[in-house]
Chains A and B, each alone.
Chain A
Amino acid sequence: ETGVTQTPRHLVMGMTNKKSLKCEQHLGHNAMYWYKQSAKKPLELMFVYNFKEQTENNSVPSRFSPECPNSSHLFLHLHTLQPEDSALYLCASSQEGEGTGGYEQYFGPGTRLTVT
């Protein structure tokens, strides 16, 4: 496997279900991100993990719960979602330097989530 992988690629879930999205990066990067992408809207940054520490949580509802067990893996746990949470969820990674600007982010193919 190379780059950034995400599973599953498609997910349909009811509002009472609990599911998890998985992301793995094979690039040796030290930062990982979860984004939400809705049609015709900018990418919304949800969570950032830098050196396995969560550094950003942009007012994301608690029904989304991230987990970063190590620098290569990132999960997004989902529970009691709403229909408006239906979107493409993208994972990305980058190599960030301490106190300096980082470089480009590499994205996974995304999980297309539909909440019914």
Chain B
Amino acid sequence: QLQLQESGPGLVRPSETLPLTCTVSGDSISSGSYFWGWIRQPPGKGLEWIADIHYSGSTSYNPSLKSRVTISVGPSKNQFSLKLSSVTAADTAVYYCGRRFSSYGYFDYWGQGTLVSVSS
């Protein structure tokens, strides 16, 4: 059974960089058939897709966040990561990682999410 688990700092100060990691178990992110992505949900708001990546290195970013976001495979095998720079209170959200088929944009597996608060 595929499982995804997000990990992050919980609290980040304004203007700093938010690092997040998703650990995948039950499948290999190098299987080639999938993209691996990040989605977030600010309090009281809807879901927002951030970015996704194929193990080959192919990436896609939401233009609204592209200038501040870096998605990458690693740091360890079967992990992928997100870095969001210059965070503000508007970046406070539950961050989810997920898997989607390479040919389609819907996410068939998601992690439980990790809450990140931006505050001084």
Q: Do these two chains interact?
A: no
